[in-house]
Every structure is written in C-alpha cells, then in structure tokens.
A = this chain, B = another copy of it.
Amino acid sequence: MSLDPLSETFAALADPTRRAILSRLALGETSVSELAKPFDISAPAISKHLKVLERAGLITRGREKQWRPCKIEPRALRGVDDWLERYRRLWEERLDRLDEYLRGLQAKEKKRGRKK
C-alpha cells in the first residue's frame, strides 16, 4: 500500500523504537551499529526501522559502503507541524475559555466573600 507523504510520516513515528532512533540522531549523525547499541533488538530489525524512517524522509544515509552514517532530516517533521497548526488553535481556544471560566468563578467568589 502506498501512503501519502503525511500518512507515511505519521506511520513512521508510530513506533517507540523509531522515535528513540530519531531522538539519538537529533544529537548528531552516527553509524547503524552505534545506533543499535542501546536497543535489545537485532541488527536486521534496526535496519528495517531505518528503512521505514528513510522512506518517510525522516533520515538520510551516507553513501560510503563501510560507514553509512544516519542523519536526521528534521524538515520532514514540518509537515506534521503544519498539520497540527489548526488544531493547536483549537486547544488554545479551549484553554482560553477555561481560563475565562475560572476567572468568572474567582470574581463570583470575591463578590460572595465581600457580602459575608
């Protein structure tokens, strides 16, 4: 099944090992064997995860045969950020409304306090 780019990105991120790989790569590029060290999974399994990340454009790999360093491509995450934008407004509006409601409650409390 071929996914649209944004679905591909989300699918690639839907795995804790792949997110941990990205988190490691955010510190700098590194080799596959170095990447595999903290994980209790086989080298082929790591390679599979890297392929998924590479297909989604989230990482690139060097061309050298012996040393193919992996590098994060954070720009690929901008699609996710753009998509989030309109929803961010939604939850911020809700927080504003909650804030307004709480201020209303406080004002009422104050009034009641004065009446006592």
Binding site for B on A (CB under 8 A): 3-4, 6-8, 10-11, 13-16, 19, 22-23, 26, 72, 74-75, 77-78, 80-81, 83-84, 86-88, 90-91, 94
Copies of this chain, how many?
2
Give A7 to B72 CA distance when docked, in angstroms.
19
Report A88 CB to chain B, min CB distance, Å: 7
Given the known A-B contacts A3-B14, A14-B14, are A94 and B74 also in contact in the complex, defined by CB atoms under 8 Å?
Answer: yes
Report A77 CB to chain B, min CB distance, Å: 5
Which residue of the partner chain, among B10, B72, B94, contacts A10 with CB atoms under 8 Å?
Answer: B10
Which residue of the partner chain, among B7, B78, B86, contacts A15 with CB atoms under 8 Å?
Answer: B7
- Report B-chain residues with C-beta under 8 Å of the C-beta of A6: 16, 19
- Report B-chain residues with C-beta under 8 Å of the C-beta of A3: 14
Contact A10 B13 (CB under 8 A): yes
